[in-house]
Amino acid sequence: MKIAVASGKGGTGKTLLATNLFNVIQQSGYAVDLIDCDAEEPNDQQFIKGKLQGQQLVTQNIPVIDKDRCTFCGKCQEFCQYNAIIIVRSHQHIRVFEDLCHDCGACDYACQSGAISWQAKTTGTLTTYEYNQHSLLVEGRIAVGVYSSVPLISQAIKGAKPEQITILDAPPGTSCPFIATVNEADFVVLVTEPTPFGLNDLKLSVQALQHLNKPFGVVINRGGLGNQDVHRFLTENKLPLLDEIPFDRRIAQLYSEGELITNNISAYNKQFQELFIRIKKQIEHDRDSHT
């Protein structure tokens, strides 16, 4: 099963949840991989201290247009849905905007004159750390100046072993990187906080997942910090509350030191073990309801 841990905004505790959930799952004897899909700011490795296993470059194909063969018909520009190609016929000028290219191949399909070839552009790196014999951490890190992390995220998720549990630490927000991550998940854990900002971004995340028809549950982090509006929203909309992590100074201190709370506070180890059980039951319930 693939479990995505996501949030509508940064700073809600998504990494806290993903890393500690990974920790208790592997402690329970399951084979589990953690994929850090927050490619712009990956930080799971600060908490999961694994042995470096390998690193690979991730590349994207960029079209190169031979102006001697190009007829400036405009078909490539017409087929490109990302406005990555511009043609000025009067000056017989054509240009590819690499930052906008999504490597979809539509321009090559459209070109009838054979004017398009391809060159590889490095978009980031995938670094793999061995945590133990059965568990890995895969970190996606986008290269500086690269516009979209979606291809890198897709490549990182492909590295997960299909026969075991995978935790996907999703990028914050509800834009394309978020969609690329949660779309591959069997279940999504939404992390929020009991504040007006937390509620607003939770609503956006819920709308996105409902549109994708993805099953999900909610974890409230820093419980007791704000008000009860998030609880009311979940109750009114009959959304599952999986757990609530209290606003605890000890969590902040351990987190700032790069330590896992499930390794240092027995009560939280038990709480995350029980959270994993609830997630499994929720996934089983959702599967049964669709069969």
**pLDDT at position 160:** 80
Burial class (CB in 10 A: 0-12, 13-18, 19+), 92: exposed
Q: Which residues of the chain are under the pLDDT cut of 50?
A: none
Residue type, 54: G
* Residue appearing with tokens 């990974």: 22
Report pLDDT for 291.
65
- Which residues touch 256 (CB under 8 Å, ≥6 apart)? none
Q: pLDDT at position 225, please?
A: 87
Domains and CATH numbers, the chain: 2-58+124-289 (3.40.50.300), 67-114 (3.30.70.20)
pLDDT at 255: 95
pLDDT score, position 249: 95
pLDDT of residue 161: 80
pLDDT digit string (tens) for 145-164? Answer: 887 888 899 999 987 888 88
Q: Which pLDDT score, from 0 to 100, does residue 162 have?
A: 80
Three-state SS string across the chain, please? Answer: CEEEEECCCCCCCHHHHHHHHHHHHHHCCCCEEEEECCCCCCCHHHCCCCEEEEEEEEEEEEEEECCCCCCCCCHHHHHCCCCCEEEEHHHCEEEECHHHCCCCCHHHHHCCCCCEEEEEEEEEEEEEEEEECCEEEEEEEECCCCCCCHHHHHHHHHCCCCCCEEEEECCCCCCHHHHHHHCCCCEEEEEECCCHHHHHHHHHHHHHHHHHCCCEEEEEEEECCCCCHHHHHHHHCCCCEEEEEECCHHHHHHHHCCCCHHHHCHHHHHHHHHHHHHHHHHHHHHHHHCC
